[in-house]
Chain A
Amino acid sequence: MGDFSGNFKKGLIKSNPVLVLLLGLCPTLAVSTSLDNAFGMTAAVLFVLISANIIVSVIRKWTPDRVRIPVFIVVIASLVTIVDLTIQAFSPELSASLGIFIPLIVVNCIILGRAEAFASKNTILDSTADALGMGFGFGIAITIISFIRQLLGSGVLEAFGKKIVEVPGLVDNPMAIFLLPMGAFLVIGCLLATLRYTGVIANE
Protein backbone atom coordinates (compact mmCIF):
# COMPACT_ATOMS: atom_id res chain seq x y z
CA MET A 1 0.00 0.00 0.00
CA GLY A 2 3.04 2.25 -0.10
CA ASP A 3 2.50 3.51 -3.62
CA PHE A 4 1.55 7.20 -3.81
CA SER A 5 0.26 7.34 -7.38
CA GLY A 6 -1.51 4.00 -7.00
CA ASN A 7 -3.36 5.23 -3.93
CA PHE A 8 -4.21 8.44 -5.75
CA LYS A 9 -5.41 6.83 -8.97
CA LYS A 10 -7.67 4.20 -7.49
CA GLY A 11 -10.10 6.84 -6.21
CA LEU A 12 -10.48 8.47 -9.63
CA ILE A 13 -12.06 5.60 -11.58
CA LYS A 14 -11.50 2.12 -10.23
CA SER A 15 -13.00 2.75 -6.80
CA ASN A 16 -14.59 6.12 -7.48
CA PRO A 17 -16.50 6.93 -4.27
CA VAL A 18 -19.67 8.04 -6.04
CA LEU A 19 -19.76 6.00 -9.25
CA VAL A 20 -18.41 2.69 -7.92
CA LEU A 21 -18.68 2.65 -4.13
CA LEU A 22 -21.95 4.66 -4.27
CA LEU A 23 -20.99 6.61 -1.13
CA GLY A 24 -22.04 10.16 -0.35
CA LEU A 25 -24.94 10.10 -2.78
CA CYS A 26 -27.10 12.47 -0.72
CA PRO A 27 -25.00 15.64 -1.23
CA THR A 28 -24.01 14.53 -4.73
CA LEU A 29 -27.57 14.29 -5.95
CA ALA A 30 -28.90 17.26 -3.99
CA VAL A 31 -26.46 20.01 -4.98
CA SER A 32 -25.55 18.90 -8.51
CA THR A 33 -27.82 21.44 -10.17
CA SER A 34 -25.09 23.77 -11.45
CA LEU A 35 -21.36 23.66 -12.19
CA ASP A 36 -20.71 26.34 -9.56
CA ASN A 37 -22.32 24.16 -6.90
CA ALA A 38 -20.27 21.19 -8.07
CA PHE A 39 -16.98 23.08 -7.82
CA GLY A 40 -17.89 24.59 -4.44
CA MET A 41 -18.90 21.22 -3.02
CA THR A 42 -15.77 19.55 -4.42
CA ALA A 43 -13.52 22.17 -2.83
CA ALA A 44 -15.26 21.75 0.54
CA VAL A 45 -15.12 17.95 0.41
CA LEU A 46 -11.48 17.96 -0.74
CA PHE A 47 -10.43 20.21 2.13
CA VAL A 48 -12.29 18.20 4.76
CA LEU A 49 -11.21 14.85 3.31
CA ILE A 50 -7.52 15.73 3.08
CA SER A 51 -7.34 17.37 6.51
CA ALA A 52 -9.36 14.57 8.14
CA ASN A 53 -7.20 11.85 6.58
CA ILE A 54 -3.98 13.59 7.60
CA ILE A 55 -5.11 14.22 11.19
CA VAL A 56 -6.54 10.72 11.61
CA SER A 57 -3.33 9.26 10.19
CA VAL A 58 -1.14 11.36 12.50
CA ILE A 59 -3.00 10.33 15.65
CA ARG A 60 -3.63 6.71 14.58
CA LYS A 61 -0.87 5.29 16.85
CA TRP A 62 -2.27 6.94 19.99
CA THR A 63 -5.99 6.63 19.24
CA PRO A 64 -7.47 3.96 21.52
CA ASP A 65 -9.52 1.52 19.49
CA ARG A 66 -12.63 1.88 21.64
CA VAL A 67 -13.09 5.61 21.05
CA ARG A 68 -11.78 5.85 17.51
CA ILE A 69 -15.17 6.56 15.87
CA PRO A 70 -16.07 9.41 18.30
CA VAL A 71 -12.58 10.85 17.77
CA PHE A 72 -12.98 10.72 13.98
CA ILE A 73 -16.39 12.37 14.21
CA VAL A 74 -15.06 15.20 16.41
CA VAL A 75 -12.19 15.80 13.97
CA ILE A 76 -14.47 15.75 10.91
CA ALA A 77 -17.21 17.87 12.50
CA SER A 78 -14.68 20.54 13.56
CA LEU A 79 -13.20 20.69 10.06
CA VAL A 80 -16.65 20.96 8.49
CA THR A 81 -17.60 23.78 10.86
CA ILE A 82 -14.41 25.61 9.90
CA VAL A 83 -15.29 25.25 6.20
CA ASP A 84 -18.89 26.31 6.85
CA LEU A 85 -17.91 29.47 8.74
CA THR A 86 -15.25 30.36 6.17
CA ILE A 87 -17.66 30.04 3.24
CA GLN A 88 -20.33 32.06 5.09
CA ALA A 89 -17.81 34.80 5.76
CA PHE A 90 -16.12 35.03 2.39
CA SER A 91 -18.66 33.72 -0.13
CA PRO A 92 -22.22 34.26 1.12
CA GLU A 93 -23.66 33.40 -2.30
CA LEU A 94 -22.03 29.98 -2.40
CA SER A 95 -23.16 29.44 1.18
CA ALA A 96 -26.74 30.26 0.19
CA SER A 97 -26.77 27.74 -2.67
CA LEU A 98 -24.95 24.91 -0.88
CA GLY A 99 -27.03 25.57 2.23
CA ILE A 100 -27.56 22.62 4.52
CA PHE A 101 -25.23 20.37 2.52
CA ILE A 102 -22.07 21.86 3.97
CA PRO A 103 -22.96 20.89 7.57
CA LEU A 104 -24.08 17.52 6.20
CA ILE A 105 -20.52 16.74 5.04
CA VAL A 106 -20.07 15.61 8.66
CA VAL A 107 -22.16 12.54 7.97
CA ASN A 108 -20.91 12.10 4.41
CA CYS A 109 -19.88 8.45 4.40
CA ILE A 110 -16.96 9.09 2.00
CA ILE A 111 -15.09 10.99 4.69
CA LEU A 112 -15.80 8.79 7.70
CA GLY A 113 -15.35 5.77 5.42
CA ARG A 114 -11.87 6.82 4.31
CA ALA A 115 -10.85 7.75 7.87
CA GLU A 116 -11.91 4.35 9.19
CA ALA A 117 -10.96 2.15 6.25
CA PHE A 118 -7.71 3.82 5.15
CA ALA A 119 -6.25 6.70 7.14
CA SER A 120 -6.44 4.93 10.51
CA LYS A 121 -4.19 2.16 9.16
CA ASN A 122 -1.79 3.95 6.80
CA THR A 123 1.00 6.52 6.78
CA ILE A 124 0.42 10.24 6.35
CA LEU A 125 1.70 10.24 2.77
CA ASP A 126 -0.50 7.32 1.70
CA SER A 127 -3.52 8.83 3.45
CA THR A 128 -2.99 12.14 1.65
CA ALA A 129 -2.80 10.33 -1.68
CA ASP A 130 -5.95 8.42 -0.84
CA ALA A 131 -7.79 11.63 0.14
CA LEU A 132 -6.70 13.44 -3.02
CA GLY A 133 -7.80 10.54 -5.22
CA MET A 134 -11.14 10.10 -3.48
CA GLY A 135 -11.76 13.86 -3.39
CA PHE A 136 -11.07 14.32 -7.08
CA GLY A 137 -13.06 11.17 -7.82
CA PHE A 138 -16.00 12.78 -6.01
CA GLY A 139 -15.33 15.98 -7.98
CA ILE A 140 -15.31 14.19 -11.34
CA ALA A 141 -18.60 12.45 -10.59
CA ILE A 142 -20.45 15.51 -9.27
CA THR A 143 -19.16 17.66 -12.15
CA ILE A 144 -20.38 15.21 -14.80
CA ILE A 145 -23.80 14.99 -13.13
CA SER A 146 -24.05 18.79 -12.73
CA PHE A 147 -23.00 19.30 -16.34
CA ILE A 148 -25.82 17.10 -17.63
CA ARG A 149 -28.43 18.47 -15.21
CA GLN A 150 -27.62 22.13 -15.79
CA LEU A 151 -27.45 21.73 -19.56
CA LEU A 152 -30.77 19.89 -19.88
CA GLY A 153 -32.54 21.58 -16.97
CA SER A 154 -31.83 25.20 -17.88
CA GLY A 155 -30.44 25.04 -21.42
CA VAL A 156 -27.51 27.21 -20.38
CA LEU A 157 -24.11 26.18 -19.06
CA GLU A 158 -22.68 28.72 -16.64
CA ALA A 159 -19.65 28.69 -14.40
CA PHE A 160 -18.21 31.50 -12.25
CA GLY A 161 -20.88 33.86 -13.61
CA LYS A 162 -19.83 33.35 -17.24
CA LYS A 163 -21.95 31.74 -19.88
CA ILE A 164 -20.11 28.85 -21.56
CA VAL A 165 -22.69 27.55 -23.94
CA GLU A 166 -26.36 28.13 -24.70
CA VAL A 167 -28.51 25.53 -26.40
CA PRO A 168 -30.91 27.22 -28.82
CA GLY A 169 -34.49 26.09 -28.29
CA LEU A 170 -33.73 24.53 -24.93
CA VAL A 171 -33.25 27.92 -23.29
CA ASP A 172 -36.88 28.91 -23.83
CA ASN A 173 -38.25 25.49 -22.97
CA PRO A 174 -35.83 23.92 -20.50
CA MET A 175 -36.49 20.44 -19.14
CA ALA A 176 -36.85 21.62 -15.56
CA ILE A 177 -37.34 18.03 -14.39
CA PHE A 178 -33.56 17.62 -14.50
CA LEU A 179 -33.14 20.30 -11.84
CA LEU A 180 -35.55 18.48 -9.55
CA PRO A 181 -34.50 15.58 -7.29
CA MET A 182 -36.01 13.00 -9.66
CA GLY A 183 -33.82 14.36 -12.45
CA ALA A 184 -30.78 13.63 -10.29
CA PHE A 185 -31.78 9.98 -9.97
CA LEU A 186 -32.47 9.70 -13.71
CA VAL A 187 -29.06 11.15 -14.54
CA ILE A 188 -27.04 9.03 -12.13
CA GLY A 189 -28.92 5.89 -13.15
CA CYS A 190 -28.26 6.42 -16.86
CA LEU A 191 -24.68 7.49 -16.13
CA LEU A 192 -23.91 4.34 -14.12
CA ALA A 193 -25.53 2.13 -16.74
CA THR A 194 -23.55 3.78 -19.54
CA LEU A 195 -20.24 3.56 -17.67
CA ARG A 196 -20.78 -0.14 -16.91
CA TYR A 197 -21.96 -0.97 -20.40
CA THR A 198 -18.96 0.70 -22.02
CA GLY A 199 -16.63 -0.96 -19.53
CA VAL A 200 -15.22 2.24 -18.04
CA ILE A 201 -16.23 0.82 -14.68
CA ALA A 202 -15.46 -2.87 -14.34
CA ASN A 203 -18.33 -5.24 -13.85
CA GLU A 204 -17.73 -7.62 -10.97
Chain B
Amino acid sequence: MNQTDFRKDIMPVLFLTIVVCIAVIALTVVDGITGEKIAENDRQKTLEGLKEMFPEMDGFDMASDIDVFIIKIGDEVVGYAFNVTAQGYGGDIGLIVGIENTTLAEDDIILRGISITKHSETPALGAEIVKPYFKDQFEGLSASEVALTKDGGQIDAITGATISSSAVSNAVHDAIIEKAELIRTTILEVE
Protein backbone atom coordinates (compact mmCIF):
# COMPACT_ATOMS: atom_id res chain seq x y z
CA MET B 1 0.00 0.00 0.00
CA ASN B 2 1.55 3.32 -1.00
CA GLN B 3 1.39 6.69 0.71
CA THR B 4 -1.45 8.15 -1.39
CA ASP B 5 -3.75 5.25 -0.60
CA PHE B 6 -3.18 5.68 3.10
CA ARG B 7 -3.99 9.39 3.03
CA LYS B 8 -7.00 8.90 0.81
CA ASP B 9 -8.62 5.79 2.23
CA ILE B 10 -7.42 5.06 5.73
CA MET B 11 -7.01 8.58 7.14
CA PRO B 12 -10.71 9.55 6.99
CA VAL B 13 -11.77 6.36 8.75
CA LEU B 14 -9.07 6.72 11.38
CA PHE B 15 -9.86 10.39 11.95
CA LEU B 16 -13.60 9.85 12.39
CA THR B 17 -12.92 6.96 14.76
CA ILE B 18 -10.64 9.11 16.91
CA VAL B 19 -13.19 11.95 16.99
CA VAL B 20 -15.96 9.56 18.04
CA CYS B 21 -13.75 8.04 20.77
CA ILE B 22 -12.98 11.48 22.21
CA ALA B 23 -16.69 12.36 22.09
CA VAL B 24 -17.60 9.14 23.92
CA ILE B 25 -15.05 9.85 26.66
CA ALA B 26 -16.29 13.42 27.08
CA LEU B 27 -19.93 12.33 27.30
CA THR B 28 -19.14 9.58 29.79
CA VAL B 29 -17.47 12.13 32.05
CA VAL B 30 -20.42 14.55 31.82
CA ASP B 31 -22.92 11.75 32.43
CA GLY B 32 -20.95 10.74 35.52
CA ILE B 33 -21.17 14.27 36.88
CA THR B 34 -24.83 14.96 36.06
CA GLY B 35 -26.43 11.49 36.17
CA GLU B 36 -26.92 11.37 39.91
CA LYS B 37 -28.32 14.91 40.05
CA ILE B 38 -30.85 14.17 37.29
CA ALA B 39 -32.06 11.00 39.01
CA GLU B 40 -32.30 12.97 42.27
CA ASN B 41 -34.40 15.68 40.53
CA ASP B 42 -36.79 13.02 39.20
CA ARG B 43 -37.13 11.45 42.66
CA GLN B 44 -37.75 14.88 44.16
CA LYS B 45 -40.47 15.57 41.62
CA THR B 46 -42.23 12.27 42.35
CA LEU B 47 -42.01 12.92 46.08
CA GLU B 48 -43.47 16.41 45.65
CA GLY B 49 -46.36 14.94 43.66
CA LEU B 50 -47.04 12.38 46.39
CA LYS B 51 -46.79 14.98 49.17
CA GLU B 52 -49.26 17.20 47.29
CA MET B 53 -51.90 14.46 47.33
CA PHE B 54 -51.09 12.93 50.71
CA PRO B 55 -49.89 15.89 52.83
CA GLU B 56 -50.09 13.78 56.00
CA MET B 57 -47.79 10.99 54.73
CA ASP B 58 -44.48 10.35 56.43
CA GLY B 59 -43.13 7.63 54.19
CA PHE B 60 -43.87 5.22 51.41
CA ASP B 61 -42.97 1.76 50.18
CA MET B 62 -42.48 0.93 46.56
CA ALA B 63 -44.18 -2.20 45.22
CA SER B 64 -41.85 -2.25 42.24
CA ASP B 65 -43.28 -5.36 40.56
CA ILE B 66 -46.57 -3.51 39.88
CA ASP B 67 -45.14 0.06 40.03
CA VAL B 68 -47.31 1.22 42.93
CA PHE B 69 -46.32 3.52 45.80
CA ILE B 70 -47.82 2.40 49.11
CA ILE B 71 -48.39 5.61 51.10
CA LYS B 72 -47.96 5.25 54.86
CA ILE B 73 -48.20 7.06 58.15
CA GLY B 74 -46.00 4.99 60.38
CA ASP B 75 -47.17 1.43 59.65
CA GLU B 76 -50.67 2.39 58.64
CA VAL B 77 -51.46 2.38 54.90
CA VAL B 78 -53.36 5.53 53.91
CA GLY B 79 -53.50 5.02 50.17
CA TYR B 80 -51.78 4.06 46.96
CA ALA B 81 -50.29 6.09 44.14
CA PHE B 82 -48.96 5.24 40.70
CA ASN B 83 -47.64 6.81 37.52
CA VAL B 84 -50.01 7.07 34.57
CA THR B 85 -49.23 8.16 31.03
CA ALA B 86 -51.97 9.77 28.94
CA GLN B 87 -51.81 10.46 25.21
CA GLY B 88 -52.44 14.20 25.05
CA TYR B 89 -52.79 16.63 22.17
CA GLY B 90 -49.12 17.55 22.10
CA GLY B 91 -47.52 14.30 23.30
CA ASP B 92 -47.41 12.21 26.43
CA ILE B 93 -48.87 13.60 29.65
CA GLY B 94 -47.25 12.16 32.78
CA LEU B 95 -49.43 11.94 35.89
CA ILE B 96 -49.26 10.61 39.40
CA VAL B 97 -52.63 9.36 40.59
CA GLY B 98 -53.51 8.70 44.22
CA ILE B 99 -56.34 6.56 45.59
CA GLU B 100 -57.61 6.01 49.12
CA ASN B 101 -57.03 2.79 51.04
CA THR B 102 -60.41 1.07 50.59
CA THR B 103 -61.41 -2.46 49.63
CA LEU B 104 -60.62 -1.43 46.02
CA ALA B 105 -63.47 -3.42 44.52
CA GLU B 106 -64.45 -1.73 41.26
CA ASP B 107 -67.32 0.22 42.88
CA ASP B 108 -65.22 1.12 45.93
CA ILE B 109 -62.35 3.15 44.48
CA ILE B 110 -62.02 6.71 45.80
CA LEU B 111 -59.62 9.11 44.04
CA ARG B 112 -57.37 11.13 46.33
CA GLY B 113 -56.19 13.37 43.52
CA ILE B 114 -53.96 13.71 40.51
CA SER B 115 -50.70 15.50 39.96
CA ILE B 116 -49.23 16.29 36.55
CA THR B 117 -45.49 15.66 36.32
CA LYS B 118 -44.87 16.49 32.68
CA HIS B 119 -46.76 17.52 29.58
CA SER B 120 -46.31 19.35 26.31
CA GLU B 121 -49.83 20.66 25.75
CA THR B 122 -50.63 23.97 24.04
CA PRO B 123 -49.99 27.00 26.29
CA ALA B 124 -53.18 28.72 27.50
CA LEU B 125 -55.36 25.83 26.27
CA GLY B 126 -54.32 22.22 26.99
CA ALA B 127 -51.64 23.39 29.41
CA GLU B 128 -54.45 24.49 31.76
CA ILE B 129 -54.65 20.83 32.94
CA VAL B 130 -52.04 21.72 35.56
CA LYS B 131 -54.29 24.44 37.03
CA PRO B 132 -56.18 23.63 40.25
CA TYR B 133 -59.58 24.45 38.72
CA PHE B 134 -59.18 21.44 36.44
CA LYS B 135 -57.20 18.88 38.39
CA ASP B 136 -58.86 19.47 41.77
CA GLN B 137 -62.11 18.23 40.22
CA PHE B 138 -60.75 14.70 40.50
CA GLU B 139 -60.57 14.72 44.30
CA GLY B 140 -62.94 12.30 46.01
CA LEU B 141 -64.49 10.89 42.84
CA SER B 142 -65.29 7.22 42.35
CA ALA B 143 -64.10 5.36 39.25
CA SER B 144 -67.41 5.68 37.41
CA GLU B 145 -67.56 9.46 38.01
CA VAL B 146 -64.19 10.02 36.34
CA ALA B 147 -65.36 11.08 32.87
CA LEU B 148 -66.19 14.34 31.16
CA THR B 149 -69.65 15.74 31.92
CA LYS B 150 -70.71 15.23 28.30
CA ASP B 151 -70.01 11.51 28.81
CA GLY B 152 -71.98 11.40 32.04
CA GLY B 153 -69.11 11.98 34.46
CA GLN B 154 -68.16 14.72 36.90
CA ILE B 155 -65.24 16.41 35.10
CA ASP B 156 -65.82 19.73 33.35
CA ALA B 157 -63.59 19.92 30.26
CA ILE B 158 -61.35 22.94 29.71
CA THR B 159 -62.78 25.32 27.12
CA GLY B 160 -60.99 24.78 23.82
CA ALA B 161 -59.06 21.78 25.10
CA THR B 162 -61.46 18.85 24.98
CA ILE B 163 -58.77 16.46 23.75
CA SER B 164 -56.37 17.22 26.61
CA SER B 165 -59.22 17.07 29.15
CA SER B 166 -60.62 13.76 27.97
CA ALA B 167 -57.10 12.29 27.57
CA VAL B 168 -56.45 12.94 31.26
CA SER B 169 -59.83 11.76 32.52
CA ASN B 170 -59.89 8.61 30.36
CA ALA B 171 -56.35 7.67 31.33
CA VAL B 172 -57.11 8.20 35.03
CA HIS B 173 -60.35 6.22 34.76
CA ASP B 174 -58.70 3.22 33.07
CA ALA B 175 -55.62 3.33 35.28
CA ILE B 176 -57.40 3.36 38.64
CA ILE B 177 -59.55 0.35 37.71
CA GLU B 178 -56.59 -1.60 36.38
CA LYS B 179 -54.24 -0.71 39.26
CA ALA B 180 -56.90 -1.29 41.94
CA GLU B 181 -57.38 -4.80 40.58
CA LEU B 182 -53.61 -5.37 40.60
CA ILE B 183 -53.26 -4.04 44.14
CA ARG B 184 -56.14 -6.22 45.32
CA THR B 185 -54.73 -9.40 43.84
CA THR B 186 -51.08 -8.90 44.72
CA ILE B 187 -50.69 -6.64 47.79
CA LEU B 188 -53.94 -7.10 49.72
CA GLU B 189 -54.07 -10.89 49.41
CA VAL B 190 -50.53 -11.23 50.64
CA GLU B 191 -51.07 -9.06 53.68
Residues of chain A at the chain B interface (Cβ within 8 Å): 33, 59, 62-64, 66-67, 70-71, 74-75, 77-78, 81-82, 85-86, 88-90, 92, 96, 99-100, 153-154, 174, 176, 179-180
Given A88-B34, A89-B34, A92-B41, A82–B26 Cβ distance below 8 Å?
yes
B26 touches A78 (CB 8 A): yes
Residues of chain B at the chain A interface (Cβ within 8 Å): 11-13, 15-16, 19-20, 23, 26-27, 30-31, 33-35, 37-38, 41, 45, 118, 120, 122-125
Q: A81-B30, A154-B124 are in contact. List 13 more A-B contacts (CB 8 A).
A: A59-B19, A64-B15, A66-B12, A82-B26, A82-B27, A85-B30, A85-B38, A89-B34, A89-B37, A90-B37, A176-B123, A176-B124, A180-B124
A178 and B40 CA atoms in complex are apart in Å by 36
Given A74-B23, A78-B26, A82-B26, A33–B15 Cβ distance below 8 Å?
no
Which residue from A33, A77, A88, A100 sits with its C-beta under 8 Å from B38? A88
Residue of B nearest to A180 (CB): B122
Q: Is the interface of A mostly helix, strand, loop or mixed?
A: helix
CB distance from A176 to the nearest CB of B (A): 4
Chain B residues whose CB sits within 8 angstroms of the CB of A99 once the complex forms: 120
Which residue from B19, B31, B34, B123 sits with its C-beta under 8 Å from A179? B123
Q: Is the interface of B mostly helix, strand, loop or mixed?
A: helix
Q: Can you sample 20 A-B contacts with CB below 8 Å?
A: A59-B19, A66-B12, A67-B13, A67-B15, A74-B23, A75-B19, A75-B23, A85-B38, A86-B34, A88-B34, A88-B41, A89-B33, A90-B34, A100-B120, A153-B123, A174-B124, A176-B124, A176-B125, A180-B122, A180-B124
CB distance from B41 to the nearest CB of A (A): 5
CB distance from A126 to the nearest CB of B (A): 22
A75 and B125 CA atoms in complex are apart in Å by 39
Residue of A nearest to B14 (CB): A64
Chain A to chain B: the 5 pairs with minimum beta-carbon distance, closest first: A89-B34, A89-B37, A176-B124, A78-B23, A64-B12
A88 and B45 CA atoms in complex are apart in Å by 13
A63 touches B15 (CB 8 A): yes
Residue of A nearest to B42 (CB): A92
A99 and B118 CA atoms in complex are apart in Å by 10
CB distance from A90 to the nearest CB of B (A): 7
A95 and B135 CA atoms in complex are apart in Å by 23
Chain B residues whose CB sits within 8 angstroms of the CB of A92 once the complex forms: 41, 45
Residue of B nearest to A64 (CB): B12
A70 touches B38 (CB 8 A): no
